[in-house]
Structure formats: C-alpha cells, structure tokens
Structure 1
Amino acid sequence: MWFNNAFIYKFTKPFELTAEQVSDHLEEHLFRPCGSQDQQKQGWVPAIPGTEGLLHAANNTFLICLKTEEKILPSSVIKEALEEKVQLIQQERGQKVGKKEQQTIKEEIVQTLLPKAFTKNSRLYAYIDIKNQWIVVNSSSANRAETLLAMLRQCIGTLPVLPLKPEQDLMLAMTSWVKNDELPRPFQFASDIELKALDEEAAVAKLKNHDVTEEEVQLHIANGKFVHKLGLVWDEKAKFVVNEEAAIKQIKFLDIVKEQTDDVPSDDKLAKFDADFALMTGELNNLINDLVSVWDTKE
C-alpha cells in the first residue's frame, strides 16, 4: 500500500473518534453495485481487499477506501440515438422537435441504455492521521479528493477540515528556490519543472529530465515565468512533484525505503500490507512535516 499522490487536509477541530467509531459510521454507507437505472454508485469497501473490516488501523492512522461504480454511456452513442429519434419524429409530424422535448427524449434514451451499459469501477484511498490531525487522500484530482471527504462527512456528520496551505505564496517560494539555486534541507531538486507566465497569454514551459538550475530555466524566470510545479527529492528517500496548491503528486518511494519490509514473507499478504502501510504512512508523514517546516504553514 503505497500512495503516489497526496492531497492533505488539516483538521480545524480535534478529531477524536476511535477506529471502531469511524468503522461504525462507514457501515452506514456500504458500497452497493449500480441497479439497472443507476448511473453511479459510491460507498465504502474494506481497506484491505479480501478482508471484512472497512477500516485498517495502524499507529493511530486509519486507512479507508471509497469505491465508485459508474455506467459507461459514450456521448456519441447517446447523440446518435437522439438524432435518429428526433429525425423520425420530425418526419412523422412534419415539424421540428423543440429543445425541451429533445431533452426529454434524451433522458428516455439514457434510461433505455443504462441497463445494457458496461460499468467502470475505481477505488480511492485515504488515511486519517490522529497524531498529525490530518487526512491524506491518494488522488491526483482535487475534485475526487473532495468527493471522498464529502462522503466521509455525510457518514460522520461533520468533518471540519481545510486544505493544507502554505502561509507564503508557494509559486513565489519555488521560483526563488530555483532562481537562487537554494533549496532548504532535506530537499534536493529533481529533474522536472513547469513554469508559467501570469500575463494574458499564460505561456507554459514544461521541462523533464532537465537540470532545473540551468540557464534555460533561468531565462524563463527572467522573462517573467514563475515555477508552477517542481520536482523534488526528499532526504534521498522519495521523489515527487509539488504544485503551487501544495498538492504532492507522482510520489515514488525509493528502494532504500521499500526494502525495509523485505523481511516480511510475501505470501503473508495481510502482514505485508500492514507492514508496507505502517512504513508508508510514517515516511509520508515525515515528508509532509518537513514540507510544512519549509513552507512555514499555519497550523
């Protein structure tokens, strides 16, 4: 269990529910598959596949998993069916079909196609950290992360959290780091950077596998671009990309970290999962705390 993205939300009031209490709340919104007329269904499933417990707890950290099932109805299929139906009606009546009636016909077509549609399933993981009082969502999309929080809030009744935000302007801070080739410890520059201009054209420069301190990058900064995304290495343990919104993406823990659970038998899947999860959350929390120190984030 290794997160590759992290949207971080800080509790504004102490979160004091126990693992058992959280699990009981999740039970109220278990995942159930789509019915014949459902376009989408969401609900909680066991955090560890193949087990019964919805929540997995380790070191005051609760892992949860939200499953989504949605019907796949290509817009092109709906459009083609609608055009055929509208054309047939117009031929019969000898007059055009109005927009309001077309919308009604479209809804009827969707309801007809839903029972035959294929489904797509996805799982979204997050963990609640009691010690640090934050929730970390393994999502590359803020909207998906907010979806999980909304479902959790619906279950618990209240979820007072706010996105973890630096006190300083992160775009200006990252630009200064690159411009001056000065990066606070324990971080190092990786080889990915994205810069953008703040004028009307909003020109963007994306550089991969590139020394971010080289002249080409400095020229972009001199010409008015600011660092929008920056690849970093943390303490020689993980690589990632951080953006101006303080979202951490493309996290890759290095072998020096992952090898720490090599002594756990791979055929004992539950023990392996538990060991990896405990290791991952410990290291990711340390990474986040180091970033918080660098950002001088308001607590």
Structure 2
Amino acid sequence: MFRNAVSYSFNENFTLTIDQIENALSTKPKRSLSSQEIESWAAEEFIKGDDRYCLDATNGFILFKFNIQTRVLPAQVVNKAVNDKIEIIKEKEQRNISKKERAEIKENILFELIPRSFIKEKCVNCMVSTNDRRLIVDTQSFAMADEITSLLRSCLGSLAITPLSALYHIPETITQWRNKPPADIELLEEFQLISSLDRTIKVNHKNTSLYSNQVNEHIEEGMILKYVRMSFDEKIEFTLDDLFLLRKIKFAVEPENKTEDEYENIQSQAFLESKELNLLLDKIIANISSIPNRA
C-alpha cells in the first residue's frame, strides 16, 4: 500500500464521517482527458466484482487513492517544432521573428501537439488514521503531497492539517540516535552525512557501519546524518530523513488468515500495513522533540 510517507497531523479532532468523505471524493470521478487538457486529478475507485467504492475503511483507518493523468510533451519536441516553423517563415518571407510572434507560434504548436501527446497515469495512495488524527500520502515529493492535500481540501471544503515536519524537530535527532536508538529501531548501513555548516557537502555511505572510524571522524568534524536506513521491530524497513519523510518503505508483515478472495487479502494487507506504519510514526514521535509553540 505504501512505499513512501509524507505525514500530516489534523489540527482538530477528526469529525468527518466515512459517508461524508466518500460523497466528497465522488465529486471528483475519474474521466478521460479532453483534447487540450494537460493534467487531470480524480478519485480512483476500489473495485470488487460489480461493486465500486471511493474508499475502504475499517478499525479507524480510511484508505483512498487519487488518479493523476498527465500529458507527456517533452520540451525538446516542442522547441524543435517551434524552431522548424520559424525557419520556414524566415526562409519563405525573408524576415525576422519577434518575441511576440514566437510566443504565438509556440501556442499554436502546443495546440496541435497536445491532443497527440502520450498520457502518463499514476495512482497516489492516501490513508487517514482517525484515532491518531493523522493523514499519510504515499509520495516522496512534498510538491505532490501539497497537490493531493489541496485536491482533498477542495473535495471536503476544508482540511486543517499540519505536516509532521513542522511539528517535530528531526535533524539532530537522527545523529543522536546513532548513540542510542529507540527500542525496536535498528539503524542500518545505508545513510548520508551532510555538513551542519554547508549542506551542499555530502557523503553517501552504503554497506558501511555507522560506527566506523571514518564516520566517527566525520561526526567529530561537525557532520550530521541527513538520512538513515532503519528497521522497526523487524516488520518495516525504511529510510528516514531530516524532513520527516519516510522513503523506500518495505513491509515484512502479512495477515494471519488469508482467504480465497483476492480483494479481501489485498484489503487485509493494506490495513495491516496502515496499522504498522502508524505504530512506527508513534515510535518516532515519542523519541524526538516537539518544535516550541507548534505542537
């Protein structure tokens, strides 16, 4: 269900009902792009037999996903078409092309090329934990997460949330965990060190002990950990960075009782992963500092 996690906290108690959320999502149905549309965002449906749902919910977890269709029109293709057109005009009419006319040519070229462009499609998974007052978006792009939350806000009318990165202080925490990691969290041998004075100075490590002499020297020179690969309770492996972003999440959990119904098995797996992911976030939050006047 989740490969990455940008996490938010609801500023108030979560009061929306499942029906309210489903009705809101249903106002953004999936559809085909029109000939001149560049992008389309819509609620993706869960399908079980002949039944279709905008969300799935159980035990305090609400799962839903957004479908994003984007036309792929490489800039080099557009620029070549524009330049070719300009060269034809120059040769035929023996004159230079003004900036205004070039812009008009480009606009006409785009109008011709957009309907013929390739459409790229992807789904972004989202989860609300009503008990933890938490929203999680499966992306490692904060820009994408902002787009998703904006779309969700437009569906619901309002969405009072704050990124966990704005509530909790991560940067020095990861480095401090090197000496005493939280219970059930193991720091693995994949990480990046950055200079605390110049963040452009970076040293990447893989298959290297966090406690090697080389790393000790870097830490003594003032470098801190930007991100570290970790394992939580032998159930989740992930990379945590200093922006409170979880990347490359891998789960090692499966439902105890599987059925012959594939949809039910997928559903059970998704909710189990949601539960474990929230337990992981609880563990991280319990071992880092709140930002004054924000939490």
Report the TM range for the smaller structure's normalisation: over 0.9
Q: Distance in 2 between matches of 1:203 and 1:90?
A: 49
The code of the aligned residue for 1:279 comes to L
Q: Secondary structure at the match of 2:53?
A: coil
The code of the aligned residue for 2:270 comes to F
Mapped contact 1:32–1:42 kept (Cα < 8 A): no
Q: Distance in 1 between matches of 2:284 and 2:232?
A: 9
The code of the aligned residue for 1:126 comes to C
Q: Name stretches of at least 5 consecutive residues in structure 2 with no aligned partner.
A: none
> Which residue in 2 is equivalent to 1:270?
263
Q: From the superposition, tell whether residues 198 and 102 of structure 1 become closer, same or farther in structure 2 (CA, over 3 Å).
A: farther
Q: Distance in 2 between matches of 1:49 and 1:248?
A: 30
Mapped contact 2:9–2:134 kept (Cα < 8 A): yes
Q: Deviations over 1:36-86 (max 9, x none)?
A: 111111111114576511111111211111101111111111111000111
> Which residue in 1 is equivalent to 2:214?
216
Mapped contact 1:9–1:163 kept (Cα < 8 A): yes
Report 1:104-253 matches (<5 A).
104-165=104-165, 169-178=169-178, 181-200=179-198, 202-253=200-251
The code of the aligned residue for 1:217 comes to V
What displacement does 1:157 show? Answer: 0.7
Mapped contact 2:193–2:224 kept (Cα < 8 A): yes
Mapped contact 1:34–1:69 kept (Cα < 8 A): yes
> Which residue in 2 is equivalent to 1:95?
95
Query: Which one is further off, 68-77 or 217-226?
Result: 217-226
Q: Distance in 2 between matches of 1:147 and 1:165?
A: 17
Q: Distance in 1 between matches of 2:71 and 2:169?
A: 41
What displacement does 1:15 show? Answer: 2.1
> Which residue in 1 is equivalent to 2:79?
79
Q: Secondary structure at the match of 1:165?
A: helix
CA RMSD of aligned residues (A): 1.8
Q: Distance in 2 between matches of 1:165 and 1:119?
A: 33
Q: From the superposition, tell whether residues 292 and 200 of structure 1 become closer, same or farther in structure 2 (CA, over 3 Å).
A: closer
TM-score (norm 2): 0.93
> Which residue in 2 is equivalent to 1:286?
279
Mapped contact 2:7–2:164 kept (Cα < 8 A): yes
Q: Distance in 2 between matches of 1:295 and 1:83?
A: 55
Q: Distance in 2 between matches of 1:224 and 1:41?
A: 46
Mapped contact 1:124–1:138 kept (Cα < 8 A): yes
Q: Distance in 2 between matches of 1:276 and 1:167?
A: 30
TM-score (norm 1): 0.92
Q: Name stretches of at least 5 consecutive residues in structure 1 with no aligned partner.
A: none
What displacement does 1:198 show? Answer: 3.7
Q: Percent identity?
A: 24
What displacement does 1:219 show? Answer: 1.6
Q: Distance in 2 between matches of 1:78 and 1:36?
A: 17
Q: From the superposition, tell whether residues 270 and 229 of structure 1 become closer, same or farther in structure 2 (CA, over 3 Å).
A: same
- Report the number of matched residues: 291
Q: Distance in 1 between matches of 2:200 and 2:31?
A: 44
> Which residue in 1 is equivalent to 2:9?
10
Mapped contact 2:168–2:285 kept (Cα < 8 A): no
Q: From the superposition, tell whether residues 48 and 165 of structure 1 become closer, same or farther in structure 2 (CA, over 3 Å).
A: farther
Which protein has the bigger strand share?
2
Q: Distance in 2 between matches of 1:128 and 1:33?
A: 28
The code of the aligned residue for 2:35 comes to S
